[in-house]
Copies of this chain bind each other. A is one copy, B any other.
């Protein structure tokens, strides 16, 4: 991430990714919300929407593009099939490939869910002087599949996926307070401390993203993660699904400031 990228407008960022640039999007287009993608066939869309409604912490829906729609208020003049740096394609729940352009896999039957991303509250944490290890170490945030099942809906079920940020004990309360003001981007942590309580055996082996170092005395703090619907797709096995590659998000036209609750 360079200052240039943080100043890039969402439309310009999307254009660069459409033109083929592949990079994690952390730090791009400062002040604008980024979104997770999960697209499923229309026949599965109600079940997934209900899954999101029942699991609002991991699956806060920012908007939905109906079948055959490729742009919308969150990506004006955009194209959801091309404007994300990298996509994961799932067939019958199995990830079959990663691609920078999902057009050849996309069908007019797919409904695309845009789900809030914790990058929005990370800016607020940094502004409050809370340093984030994965940003210090310039890697993707570590994410873990937990043993906690989400509330299922129709044919969709799956485990809660969490992201983890280690914090010094004196900053945990502030981090809770700050992130709880962002309910549409995962909100307050779901778990503070003891990874075993979530069924996570080894923090150094995340299921998605990269490991980060944890200093003596630091507490691992876990937030619900927008990769949860991709874990649900893997468990529930719809015939086709398209997600973003973790860390490679859609940059939206929505301002982070619109996501804060008073």
Interface residues, chain A, with chain B CB atoms under 8 Å away: 42, 45-46, 49-50, 53-54, 61, 63-64, 66, 111, 153-154, 180, 183, 261-262
- Copies of this chain present: 2
How would you classify the secondary structure of chain A's contact residues: helix, strand, loop or mixed?
Answer: mixed
Q: Which residue of B lies closest to A67 (CB)?
A: B154
A154 / chain B contacts, CB cutoff of 8 Å = 66
A53 to B50, CA, bound (A): 11
B61 to A53, Cβ gap below 8 A?
Answer: yes
A54 to B183, CA, bound (A): 16
| A78 CB to nearest B CB, Å | 18
Q: What are 15 sample pairs from A and B whose C-beta atoms fall under 8 A apart?
A: A42-B46, A45-B46, A46-B46, A46-B49, A49-B49, A49-B50, A49-B53, A50-B64, A50-B66, A53-B53, A53-B61, A53-B64, A66-B153, A183-B261, A261-B261
A49 / chain B contacts, CB cutoff of 8 Å = 46, 49-50, 53
Q: Which residue of B lies closest to A188 (CB)?
A: B262
A63 to B53, CA, bound (A): 8
Q: Which residue of B lies closest to A64 (CB)?
A: B50
A111 to B53, CA, bound (A): 14
Of all A-B residue pairs in the complex, the 5 with the closest CB atoms, nearest first, are A46-B46, A49-B49, A45-B46, A50-B64, A53-B61
A50 / chain B contacts, CB cutoff of 8 Å = 49, 64, 66
| A72 CB to nearest B CB, Å | 11
A153 / chain B contacts, CB cutoff of 8 Å = 64, 66
A61 to B180, CA, bound (A): 21
Count chain B CB atoms within 10 A of each CB in A50, A111, A154, A180 and give the residue with the most: A50
Count chain B CB atoms within 10 A of each CB in A42, A154, A183 and give the residue with the most: A154
A262 to B53, Cβ gap below 8 A?
Answer: no
| A46 CB to nearest B CB, Å | 4
A180 / chain B contacts, CB cutoff of 8 Å = 262
Q: Which residue of B lies closest to A73 (CB)?
A: B151
Given contact pairs A49-B49, A53-B64, A180-B262, enumerate 15 new A-B contacts (beta carbons under 8 Å).
A45-B46, A46-B46, A46-B49, A46-B111, A49-B50, A49-B53, A50-B64, A50-B66, A53-B53, A53-B61, A54-B63, A64-B153, A66-B154, A183-B261, A261-B261
A46 to B180, CA, bound (A): 29
A262 to B262, CA, bound (A): 9
